[in-house]
Structure 1
């Protein structure tokens, strides 16, 4: 029965202008009766607002909107008006609740078909509701309605706003149900049941899924489980699944695992290159031929060398090449911008800064001067001994000016001062200027010609032009070398061949980046080193043109073409992806073009899900174009993402995990993960082995460590010897001897990079020193190559830190860090200074190792003072020699190291008690001398000429 409710106005209404004297409320709508008994029917769908009560002085009215018109029912008593407004509201929203309920039913039916609630589903529902809300009016929270009606609108509102708690609730319910439904599958698909997080990763199916898999957490098992679940749950057929890996071996392993576990060969498990080849073949109708240059690095280098040599026959190209070698062969660095002299030395050493004649120099600016002198045909000597006067003393060697022009008898000193006379932050200004005055006075006394150049001239861009003017004023005649003569010299010193190899790397990197037209030039405009980059591009472009012409002439492509052409065909619609599920292994190794390829595949089909498994803590291939930012910033690249962390490792114990995880997470850009371990130990499983290392002692100490391992390990336990570079490992004959010495162990050695993906019972890490080829590595990527790689991270040694994590987490039971504390790695220093839970006493340690941290070079800071032997006995010298010449005396009694205590240097060995007094004026060493009046103490900084300290004392006693 249809309910009808009627409200009449006061009888006076018919004598006034009010249009309606009665309103009837029905389930289907309203009936309005005028004073002349004319009836107007309105459906609730035509009413655009609820009736609102408007109080009057005597009578009230109810007003509402319909079809753009305002309708008023007046001359009502207050009680009637209030009742009418209340029932009007209830009837109005009851009608709309029916439409809301139908909308919710459609959403429910849709969800039953979709499975996991993806972000794209949410957006589709949101769009659907937005259209429905054009017709459905939702009440505000203040409106009082029956509970059932209120609940309908509440649910619709939550969907309309995509309430996160509602979405997560539905997703969690789905995952829970699926885990129960497919428990048997997850229990049996691998040799061990999948963990809860692995099962969740298999089930969660957003449009974009990132699985963060820590070392040893079972990423491959998760990928196999994911495919098994998709097929078992009938969400996908085998041919709708694509698995991508970076290497052929990994792709084959995935394919074999799927075949073995699932008994199907319909799932595609390919490398990115095979995928690219398949796309190209599909579009072009034939399989492309791969150039041998793509896989044979030596062959490519030979071709590039031939093309480069041919280009050098072209006068213009020869000219810009020589200009490049003269000005841009090394990355320029301002010595004033380094914090310590040692850091500047590291820059010099890491970039192997040498002149065009092959000389190792102490500064970039000295290299510029030497190259200019060479090109101008001026014979020079770099750092010759000053032959006009003997300036040697017991404590100072012979004076060495920067340059000597042999044909003209002119000395050149390049002075590291700015316009105000200031020095670099790590140089004592007063002492440096005293040295300048001493040199000027020395040249003046011996009537030798001295020309000075200044650091500020290079900063102002006039160093070489000013030098030319100064030399010309001294009568120097310039005979610039012919270009062919310069090239001949460059070839003699191997510079041409070395640059040719760099060009080969640049060709590959340039093409691998799949640059759009003009993109590299736009990049150059935003870089500080644009001059060098643009100059290099002038040399590189003709080589690239010859490379591409070679491919075209032979109707071949390379691996970079496979990716670039595949992207183009997919993005322009020539190829449509047949895969609904794309799984990517080792995602942390992905490059920007490969990520673009994955996105293109996803967007070319409907309802495609991307599932990427990786570990940003193990991203160690930037040199090959991998960009860790594509993992840490995954959602910003791919869109809304569900991230799952595999949080339990079955490889290593809690001690190794704690040290490695804490260390890698010092970089705030690394994604935060809390890894638990299957194996728990009570003592530290990371042992620092501190031993003096020189010559063949690495082998000796390694034997000692392995014999210790053999004494506690099971027969046949595996051991990895690891180092940053392969050449820092044992020689083949040493490895063979080592295996004979400890036959109970299975021993292998790998570089850090080669060890990734592998594991052993025990790991011994070698090469933990602060040399250029130590660890962290101080070898710098060529600035040209660096421009073509993903942007370097701002955190110091970010990738080297991840390499250390990779190395340590190869060990199941124990990790040994072998180092000489006199030149130890900065990473080892950090482990000690920050009190990491590492074992320090597993092996006997020499006293010199325990005191080595106190031996920081006071001059360059980054070097360490180590004992050396000279013609006058032992002394301590900086490990940065010859760049840093700082040295100190050893204990006169035991030749051990010393430390400062007040005005004395005292032996670090308390049992010895040796001491040396220091000068109270200049802190130089006081030495016992014999004079005409007997023995006395004199400062070692005394000089017969030049800057000097003449402090003397008759008698000095210690304590």
Structure 2
């Protein structure tokens, strides 16, 4: 009991309006007295604010609130005012400490019952504290409160502010307790005891939980352990748990493992489609019928093809189709967006860009012009030699215009410059413009007609219309081919059938995305492909209508409906989830609609916990709609999340781990993880095998590699042959021969995608080259499909890089990278350039392979200089020929490669010793010639007309 404390105002204050002259306070409250009115009694329970001390020049004032009224006591000496304010505050908190203690007691009781402290629990406690103690501000450390009261208010302050350190401490203590309590369960639930991180993942139970795994770190074991823990700890019964997988096989495996380990058959382990079907059945009262078009891709493609053919009989649709093909036959890429000319050539080759007449072209824009000329009935030759002269100089090769219109004698050159005259980054601007001036002078000299078109015209979408105007001004007669003739050509070219297949893919992708009304149109407005997308949607929309009408008339649904209708029913409240715990396997493969379905299920039942296991390093299914951003940006979609990383792999050793992890983490968007390995080795386990590979030569190299493996491996060891595409693997007879050559090994072959989730003792990776179907793949996804897929990552080859990680990490003991260094993959170049810890000397390597990196084409940067034969003998040319025209001479004596040494080209074959002098003026070869005055050395760039190099010398020796 605190005795009454007395404070009195200065006597003069009563004459100047001071309302209260005396203040007494004790445990019960305050008594304020005045000469002119009855005392005012204020209980502490009625005080609604802390006292506020306002200093004055001579006297101070204290103010507080009670029952909504402001009470002011003035004319206090400073010491009295300070003392009154301090004791007022201490008594105020002392009075409310009982209430605060009761609140903490309720919080403690709540925590004991609630298990793991979820974010939603923290928010509920914060709201409770804010409500229960609404009028009690935080206390000051300077107050003379009992330590117990200080502790109470300090804890309340932590809850009110959701102090992260306190919450982390509570959670950590809970996890430690649960680990100890359920140690026996975690030790026996799988064949090997769960790791510490796996146990933590099983126990941590926030509203949203993300478990980031690495290859071989036990994702499925963690899923099973999580279910076992929930059941054993009585936090859930089996019917309250839903496990989701993407494939039927994975769902069955989870169901079998749960049944085997836990003998509980009430846990649901389904695919997303089974879940959707169950939701629809529950709402509609009957199981929906599945359309045969949903289960037979060939049947769907045939049906779409029939609809497309029928629609082409309609004049308007036929015209729209032809306009589409005129502009959008191939996926377009801006040549200015490539770093090297070779990269642009890879795009041309990978996407098989050629004219309707079957001509290989060097640019997409050149293909557009060729096809337009064809459709307009204008005969042309593509890149013929200039007819009027042998136009070649020391600085410029034989002039080959892009087009020659044979009936009109008109040349067309397409120039790769923008409005400001800039060239692509890999083209020397000064030299390019010098070439333009030279060709213009050449046409002027020979009075030939030249039309120029420009790259910027295509970017401004006026290339073909401008060309038509330019040709019309020269009185070119257009005789457009009839629509049916163009369609016939397109059919012969295969474009109609290819577009029909594309329409089928677009139909499935469009429906799978579960677009809201107008969503696709809004998306298109922000994309460069808007024109193409809108044109394609005009062609696709009638297909969609026919498809949906067919489903409706047969009272059937497809797999896309299973997801879309389920989402709708849940979001509308027609279906309420019976599950309190939702577990999702391989979350990195999830698409936006499936993530939306999981979120809708969570939100339909209060207190539901979401538990997702995935590895963003193994996200390789963007082409099916999977969005890795849903894993790397998990919290932005689902809300506050607890993330646990499974950091120990039991599959591969530390050497494979170091190479694969370092390689995949070059992409800064990948989640940084430190994976440790159960198996440790002390030498490189990724071996680069550098061999010249021909169409029939790969089998010989594989036999060598596998015989080497057989010498170190156990009997029956498994070896995977892996490639980016199935067709880059061995033919059946080759595989049979390989198996006969090494009977001690079990040999399988898979594509990179098909190998995911599998493992082998040894892996050999094939197809590591930069050819059209090489790896990393540079084949562009059709721009229309690209629009309907998740946004592509800005980092180059992001998904191809993850594919390489997946391929390497299938191996337990050793991974072999088989490549021909004369056409090797950019990924192999990176491994070498960045000094990855890989083995380079396990097999004999020819000198030509070791020297290959030095033989990079100086022009396109991606090709290799290889020996070729022509009508005038052998020469060295780029492997990207005919796209890249770079070439140089070989030794005239032995045809070996040569290198520059001073003013000579010297043969690299030391047994030969051949040499060729170089022109000191232009750098060309000096040829031994004979004229009217005898023998001399003359420049190979000599021409009978200017410009020409006329340098010559009488005698040259090399030593």
User: TM-score with structure 2 length normalisation?
Assistant: 0.94
Q: 2:382, 2:404 within 8 Å by CA — same for their partners in 1? A: yes
Partner of 1:551: 551
Secondary structure of residue in 1 paired with 2:645: strand
What do residues 65-109 of structure 1 show as CA deviations (whole Å, max 9, x unaligned)?
Answer: 433445466788887766555443322210122211111111111
Superposed counterparts of 1:202-351, under 5 Å: 202-351=202-351
Partner of 1:875: 875
Partner of 2:761: 761
2:576 counterpart of 1:564:
no
What do residues 611-631 of structure 1 show as CA deviations (whole Å, max 9, x unaligned)?
Answer: 000000000000000000000
Partner of 1:705: 705
What do residues 37-74 of structure 1 show as CA deviations (whole Å, max 9, x unaligned)?
Answer: 95543210112345567789999876544334454667
For residues 18 and 440 of structure 1, what CA distance do their matches in structure 2 show?
101
Secondary structure of residue in 1 paired with 2:916: strand
Partner of 1:147: 147
Partner of 2:952: 952
2:742 counterpart of 1:746:
no
Secondary structure of residue in 2 paired with 1:711: helix
For residues 157 and 89 of structure 2, what CA distance do their matches in structure 1 show?
18
Partner of 1:654: 654
Partner of 1:524: 524
Alignment size in residue pairs: 958
Provide structure 1 residue ranges, at least 5 long, that are not aligned to the other structure.
Answer: none
Q: How far has the Cα of 1:453 moved from its partner?
A: 3.9
Q: Taking structure 1 as reference, are residues 264 and 79 closer, same or farther at Cα in structure 2, changes over 3 Å only?
A: same
Q: How far has the Cα of 1:693 moved from its partner?
A: 1.1
Q: 1:524, 1:533 within 8 Å by CA — same for their partners in 2? A: yes
2:789 counterpart of 1:789:
yes
Q: 1:97, 1:149 within 8 Å by CA — same for their partners in 2? A: yes
For residues 412 and 137 of structure 2, what CA distance do their matches in structure 1 show?
88
For residues 295 and 9 of structure 2, what CA distance do their matches in structure 1 show?
97
Partner of 2:367: 367
Superposed counterparts of 1:578-597, under 5 Å: 578-597=578-597
Q: Taking structure 1 as reference, are residues 517 and 948 closer, same or farther at Cα in structure 2, changes over 3 Å only?
A: farther
For residues 520 and 75 of structure 1, what CA distance do their matches in structure 2 show?
72
Superposed counterparts of 1:377-392, under 5 Å: 377-385=377-385
What do residues 300-352 of structure 1 show as CA deviations (whole Å, max 9, x unaligned)?
Answer: 11011000010100100100110111112224444345433222222322332
For residues 146 and 854 of structure 2, what CA distance do their matches in structure 1 show?
80
Q: Taking structure 1 as reference, are residues 908 and 121 closer, same or farther at Cα in structure 2, changes over 3 Å only?
A: farther
Q: How far has the Cα of 1:382 moved from its partner?
A: 2.4
2:621 counterpart of 1:621:
yes
Q: Taking structure 1 as reference, are residues 709 and 791 closer, same or farther at Cα in structure 2, changes over 3 Å only?
A: same
What do residues 4-43 of structure 1 show as CA deviations (whole Å, max 9, x unaligned)?
Answer: 4242649969986766565543323234455589554321
Q: How far has the Cα of 1:396 moved from its partner?
A: 10
Q: How far has the Cα of 1:362 moved from its partner?
A: 1.7
Q: 1:582, 1:608 within 8 Å by CA — same for their partners in 2? A: yes
Q: 1:759, 1:810 within 8 Å by CA — same for their partners in 2? A: yes
Superposed counterparts of 1:65-104, under 5 Å: 65-71=65-71, 84-104=84-104
Q: How far has the Cα of 1:574 moved from its partner?
A: 0.3
Q: How far has the Cα of 1:928 moved from its partner?
A: 3.1
* Residues 369-378 or 106-115, more deviating: 369-378
Q: How far has the Cα of 1:879 moved from its partner?
A: 1.5
Q: Taking structure 1 as reference, are residues 38 and 247 closer, same or farther at Cα in structure 2, changes over 3 Å only?
A: same
Q: How far has the Cα of 1:215 moved from its partner?
A: 0.3
* Residues 504-513 or 410-419, more deviating: 410-419
* Residues 529-538 or 662-671, more deviating: 529-538
For residues 542 and 171 of structure 1, what CA distance do their matches in structure 2 show?
56
For residues 21 and 399 of structure 2, what CA distance do their matches in structure 1 show?
117
For residues 923 and 344 of structure 2, what CA distance do their matches in structure 1 show?
25
Superposed counterparts of 1:698-847, under 5 Å: 698-847=698-847
Partner of 1:495: 495
For residues 212 and 743 of structure 1, what CA distance do their matches in structure 2 show?
39
Secondary structure of residue in 1 paired with 2:555: coil
For residues 454 and 720 of structure 1, what CA distance do their matches in structure 2 show?
50
Q: How far has the Cα of 1:868 moved from its partner?
A: 2.6
Q: Taking structure 1 as reference, are residues 937 and 92 closer, same or farther at Cα in structure 2, changes over 3 Å only?
A: same
Secondary structure of residue in 1 paired with 2:92: helix
Secondary structure of residue in 2 paired with 1:578: coil
Partner of 1:478: 478
What do residues 825-869 of structure 1 show as CA deviations (whole Å, max 9, x unaligned)?
Answer: 000000011111111111111111111111111222221112233
2:694 counterpart of 1:694:
yes
Q: Taking structure 1 as reference, are residues 158 and 787 closer, same or farther at Cα in structure 2, changes over 3 Å only?
A: same
What do residues 494-548 of structure 1 show as CA deviations (whole Å, max 9, x unaligned)?
Answer: 1111111111111111111111111111111111121111111111111111111
Q: 2:4, 2:24 within 8 Å by CA — same for their partners in 1? A: yes
2:157 counterpart of 1:157:
yes
Q: Taking structure 1 as reference, are residues 378 and 60 closer, same or farther at Cα in structure 2, changes over 3 Å only?
A: closer
Q: Taking structure 1 as reference, are residues 806 and 57 closer, same or farther at Cα in structure 2, changes over 3 Å only?
A: closer
For residues 512 and 870 of structure 1, what CA distance do their matches in structure 2 show?
54
Q: Taking structure 1 as reference, are residues 830 and 89 closer, same or farther at Cα in structure 2, changes over 3 Å only?
A: same
Provide structure 2 residue ranges, at least 5 long, that are not aligned to the other structure.
Answer: none
Q: How far has the Cα of 1:714 moved from its partner?
A: 0.9
Q: Taking structure 1 as reference, are residues 639 and 85 closer, same or farther at Cα in structure 2, changes over 3 Å only?
A: closer
Secondary structure of residue in 2 paired with 1:880: coil
Q: How far has the Cα of 1:733 moved from its partner?
A: 0.5
What do residues 803-827 of structure 1 show as CA deviations (whole Å, max 9, x unaligned)?
Answer: 0000000000000101111111000
Q: How far has the Cα of 1:913 moved from its partner?
A: 4.9
For residues 609 and 743 of structure 2, what CA distance do their matches in structure 1 show?
51
Q: Taking structure 1 as reference, are residues 200 and 506 closer, same or farther at Cα in structure 2, changes over 3 Å only?
A: same
For residues 460 and 634 of structure 2, what CA distance do their matches in structure 1 show?
44
Q: Taking structure 1 as reference, are residues 570 and 912 closer, same or farther at Cα in structure 2, changes over 3 Å only?
A: farther
Q: 2:619, 2:628 within 8 Å by CA — same for their partners in 1? A: yes
Q: 1:724, 1:774 within 8 Å by CA — same for their partners in 2? A: yes
2:884 counterpart of 1:884:
yes
Partner of 2:4: 5
* Residues 224-233 or 325-334, more deviating: 325-334
For residues 539 and 65 of structure 1, what CA distance do their matches in structure 2 show?
73
Q: How far has the Cα of 1:952 moved from its partner?
A: 2.4
Secondary structure of residue in 2 paired with 1:210: strand
For residues 212 and 420 of structure 2, what CA distance do their matches in structure 1 show?
54
Q: 1:7, 1:80 within 8 Å by CA — same for their partners in 2? A: no
User: TM-score with structure 1 length normalisation?
Assistant: 0.94
* Residues 60-69 or 355-364, more deviating: 60-69
Partner of 1:632: 632
Q: Taking structure 1 as reference, are residues 437 and 115 closer, same or farther at Cα in structure 2, changes over 3 Å only?
A: closer
Q: 1:45, 1:135 within 8 Å by CA — same for their partners in 2? A: no
Q: Taking structure 1 as reference, are residues 728 and 955 closer, same or farther at Cα in structure 2, changes over 3 Å only?
A: farther
What do residues 392-442 of structure 1 show as CA deviations (whole Å, max 9, x unaligned)?
Answer: 999999764433334444443434455676654434456555655665676
Partner of 2:514: 514
Q: Taking structure 1 as reference, are residues 686 and 898 closer, same or farther at Cα in structure 2, changes over 3 Å only?
A: farther
Q: Taking structure 1 as reference, are residues 859 and 105 closer, same or farther at Cα in structure 2, changes over 3 Å only?
A: same
Q: CA RMSD in A?
A: 2.8
